[in-house]
Structure 1
Amino acid sequence: MGSVTDLIDATPPASLAVVSSAAARAATDVATGAAARSGVQVVELTALDDLRAVQALFDSIWHPAPDNPPVTVELMRALTKAGNPLTGAYADGVLVGACVGFFAAPSGTALHSHVTGVVPAAQRRSVGRALKLHQRAWALRHGLTTITWTFDPLVRRNAWFNLGRLAADPVEYLPDFYGPMEDTINASDQSDRLLTRWDLDSPAVVRAAAGEPRTVDLAVLRSAGAVPVVSAGPGDAPVVTSAPPGVPWLVAVPPDVESLRARDPALAAEWRVAVRTALGGALSSGAQVRGFAREGWYVVDGAAPRRAPEAGRTAP
């Protein structure tokens, strides 16, 4: 049986010591085209009025607690003065999305993307992808090779966007990273996050930027012996099972955890624990997440522990 890497359209990240001017120009052309197809103009923002508009946009998306906004105007002002990228996406002159990042370790090679948001009316137009590709081009022009960010591993559409459409790679599971978040999206759920790395000029990322996402053939994986270690059982509750050594793991997430949190917080919490224990345990043991199937499954290589840790409801 081939390895999980053979079954997924993926290329291990390359070590990039130098960013070529050709790569930066190509990334800029790709970003410009993505923005045009999304019907937006993506620009860098530094003026106070623009930063206030970004904070208002984020507030309209997350409706955060008054003492815990995603980012403040004062912080954005300091970040942009220090040379960090802050971009906005405009449709017909109206701000519909924004992205805030800052330089990260290792110094001179990495950027951390702290928050990206798109208003609901502009979603499903690939505005978020246009913002990320603009950020990628900016980073390459400035000699950076990597962008990192975090996302909630239970949000299926974000997992597909990050791992499939952008071809980024999860590198660390962060339990309750921000603590309780009293906003309408997180709904007081524990703020588990996947720390994700985007190797900006790796072959997989270049292909994804050109419109060829990293895909997973779930049927082929199953026929090759992949084992669901977290799956939906009776009542849509998570069921955890063990896996034999050396085979890929499949870790399911619910179709819409945000709606589930509002409808059944206890069930959403079961999914949180099940995915945290399986996926977090795999990453901490040295396993790698190789991709995400659009059907709702993380694919983990066979280097994880031989048994899935006990969590949720265990299958007989």
Structure 2
Amino acid sequence: MRKDIKVRKVTAIEDIYSVQKLEKRIWGMEPIPVHQTITAVKNGGLIVGAFLENRLIGYSYSFAGYSKGEVYLCSHMLAVDEEFQMMGIGKLLKEEQLRLAREMGYRLIVWTFDPLESRNAYLNTAKLYGVCYDYIVNCYGSMDDGLNKGLPTDRFQVAWWIDSPRVLEKWQPDLTYSRPFQIHLSEDSHPVVLLLETNDWLEAEAIEVPVPKQIQLLKKENPQLAYEWRMETRNIFQQLCNEGFALVDVCRTEEPVQYYRFCKRSIIPLQNERSLSNEN
């Protein structure tokens, strides 16, 4: 990590305009109007920016949420300039978001991510100690930007209980993980998951589920196979969530897949936890 990169809260209008410009460049679609983000920041929301001198190179944007008597922070967007990716800036933005959110009185932060983006899953669970127990089918409908085009926008929702032992003590379960799903390679050397005929695998106390290591490359080179991964993992993840499992970790390998680790949600030390769905 470069020491000249600074992470701080964003409130100045000129910096918020910089966020809008970076958003448009990264996502390739019309950005959120500045009048909306300014209003959100003034009413319980939060923007955190990563700066190299005066240049904005990354940001997170969140706004206040409320459901079933629970107030929480809805972290809607995190992005890092392509030139500065893979440098740990995303983790720095989330850590500062956590610190500021705690000062504001929040105890829960939620956001979504594409279940097939294993790098995001690793950050959210293995680095930040969030958990995922809500799977949302086609959350945002059809999207035509570079990252989302071509697949239904299914999402895992991350619940980040920032004052829980899971986060404060960096808790991970000490369990033996079952790996019931087998992988073989397609003719173009992409991974293919072999589905199981029965649901006996749901009886394990902890389960590993494979996902492609490079979903964007797979979408480009074999879009039909990418779609099959979406539909097959949708079925698996929905069954896991319905049976009380939660995603807590990612096992990284040298294989063409990574393995998502699930354990029973009931054993995870989460304080004042309430189930939230479809919030962002």
TM-score under structure 1 length normalisation: 0.74
User: What are the ranges of 5 or more consecutive residues in structure 2 without an aligned counterpart?
Assistant: 266-280
Matched-pair contact (CA < 8 Å) for 1:173–1:284:
no
Q: Is the 8 A contact 2:125 2:247 kept in 1?
A: no
User: Does the CA contact (< 8 Å) of 1:109 and 1:143 recur in 2?
Assistant: no
Could you say if the C-alpha distance between residues 158 and 93 of structure 1 is closer, same or farther in structure 2, counting changes exceeding 3 Å? Answer: same
**Map of 1:104 onto structure 2:** 65
> CA offset at residue 38 of structure 1?
5.8
Once the two structures are overlaid, the 10-residue window that deviates more, 242-251 or 169-178, is 242-251
Q: C-alpha distance in 2, partners of 1:61/1:75?
A: 19
Q: Which residue of 1 aligns with 2:185?
A: 234
- With over 3 angstroms needed to count, the CA separation of the structure-2 counterparts of 1:302 and 1:170, relative to structure 1, is closer
Q: Are 2:62 and 2:74, in contact at CA under 8 Å, matched by a contact in 1? A: yes
Aligned equivalent of 2:10 = 45
Structure 2 residue identity aligned to 1:227: R
What secondary structure sits across from 2:153 in the alignment?
A: coil
Tell me, in whole angstroms, the C-alpha distance in 2 between the residues paired with 1:151 and 1:39: 29
Alpha carbons of structure 1 residues 146 and 189: separation in structure 2 relative to 1, 3 Å: same
Taking only the aligned residue pairs, the percentage that are identical comes to 28
Aligned runs of 1:138-287 on 2, under 5 Å? 138-208=100-170, 221=176, 226-229=178-181, 231-235=182-186, 236-241=191-196, 242=198, 243-244=200-201, 246-247=203-204, 248-287=206-245
Change (3 A) 1:245 1:118: closer
How far is the alpha carbon of 1:37 from its aligned partner?
6.3
Q: Is residue 132–residue 156 contact of structure 2 (8 Å, CA) maintained in 1?
A: yes
Q: How do 1:278-297 and structure 2 match up within 5 A?
A: 278-295=236-253, 296-297=258-259
Question: Is 2:202–2:240's contact at 8 Å kept on the other side of the alignment?
Answer: no
TM-score by length of 2: 0.82
Structure 1 residues not aligned, in runs of 5+: 1-35, 209-213, 304-316
> In 1, distance between residues paired with 2:63 and 2:103?
15
Shift of 1:83: 3.6
Structure 2 CA distance for aligned equivalents of residues 249 and 300 of structure 1? 5
Report what 2:278 is aligned to. Answer: none
- Matched letter for residue 244 of structure 2: G
**Which residue identity is paired with 2:76?**
H
Query: Going by fraction, where is strand more abundant, 1 or 2?
Result: 2
Deviation, 1:257, is 0.4
Q: Does 2:45 correspond to 1:80? A: no
For CA contacts below 8 A with separation 6 or more, give which structure has more relative contact order.
1
Amino acid of the structure 2 residue aligned with 1:112: C
Aligned-pair Cα RMSD in Å: 2.3
1:149–1:195 contact (8 Å) kept in structure 2:
yes
Secondary structure of 1:183 counterpart: coil
* Counterpart code for 1:63: G
